[in-house]
């Protein structure tokens, strides 16, 4: 078992790049002993070397991989932070997407968060800690072109808030958080930028930076707030779309047209 006297330990999944890497960078700077995971073994090793973290090749879709990561983290010390960041984005209309792409998004985005949360609770339930699940602005309302992705992130948000209720009922001193950022300039988004169905992601004038999202993540980990959406004004718009979809969908169509112009210009 880890030594409680050592620096606190944090785990960040999907941290070879993007949000995960910047969150891990900030946790290292705060004095945490950080364990980062990624499916890409070469990338996670390189990022771990860059940050001064421990890198483990792991598949967020597999419960046993989370258990293996948790065991490795406990060997380093007392785990106080766990961030489920690993996720997949595949744009497209559901009837045009492959079975494999749909399964990948649900497995990585939903099952990955559930398995990771269970592993986190297993190692933090006695001393307490913070569990952060990365959701998305798309969790709040309809997102034409990204229906499966939006559904998976809605599941992450609802799972996290429901989980906090269960933790409270059982007196487990873990605070769960869900971060819902708008579209950001990450490899995840850039990889899909050539697809017309990502147009809605470009309806804002500028994409968020991974650093801005990581800063917001740190703010959540410092407090008790359950859900944070970034930026707030877009969250208000997205939530209204969920309440009044018949009104919101035509508005989203116009936003998509605007985003398409920016997508093409940026491709």
- The catalytic residue positions are 149
CA pair distance 177, 60, nearest whole angstrom: 19
DSSP per-residue codes, the chain: ---TTSPPEEEESS-SSHHHHHHHHHHHHTT-EEEEEES-HHHHHHHHHHHT-EEEE--TT-HHHHHHHHHHHHHHS-EEEEEE-------S-TTTS-HHHHHHHHIIIIIHHHHHHHHHHHHHTTT-EEEEEE--GGGGS--TT-HHHHHHHHHHHHHHHHHHHHHHHTT--EEEEEEEE--BSSHHHHTTTTSGGGGGGG-SSSPBPHHHHHHHHHHHHTS--SEEEESHHHHHHHHHHHH-HHHHHHHHHHHHHHHHHHHHHH-
């Amino acid at each position: 078992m880890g030594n409680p006297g050592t620096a606190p330990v944090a785990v960040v999944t999907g941290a070879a790049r993007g949000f995960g890497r910047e969150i891990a960078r900030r946790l290292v700077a705060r004095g945490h002993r950080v364990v980062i995971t990624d499916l890409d073994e070469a990338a996670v090793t390189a990022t771990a070397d860059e940050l001064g973290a421990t890198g483990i090749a792991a598949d967020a879709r597999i419960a046993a991989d989370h258990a293996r990561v948790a065991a490795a983290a406990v060997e380093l010390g007392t785990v106080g932070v766990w961030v489920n960041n690993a996720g997949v984005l595949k744009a497209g209309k559901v009837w045009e997407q492959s079975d494999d792409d749909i399964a990948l998004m649900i497995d990585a985005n939903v099952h990955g968060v559930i398995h990771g949360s269970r592993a986190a609770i297993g190692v933090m339930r006695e001393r307490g800690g913070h569990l952060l699940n990365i959701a998305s602005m798309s969790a709040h309302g309809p997102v034409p072109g990204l229906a499966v992705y939006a559904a998976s992130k809605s599941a992450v948000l609802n799972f996290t808030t429901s989980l906090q209720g269960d933790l409270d009922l059982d007196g487990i001193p873990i605070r769960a958080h869900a971060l819902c950022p708008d579209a950001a300039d990450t490899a995840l988004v850039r990889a899909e930028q050539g697809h017309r169905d990502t147009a809605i992601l470009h309806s804002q004038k500028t994409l968020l930076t991974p650093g801005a999202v990581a800063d917001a993540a740190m703010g959540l980990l410092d407090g008790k707030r359950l859900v944070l959406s970034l930026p707030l004004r877009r969250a208000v718009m997205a939530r209204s779309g969920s309440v009044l979809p018949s009104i919101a969908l035509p508005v989203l169509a116009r936003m998509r047209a605007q985003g398409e112009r920016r997508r093409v210009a940026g491709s």
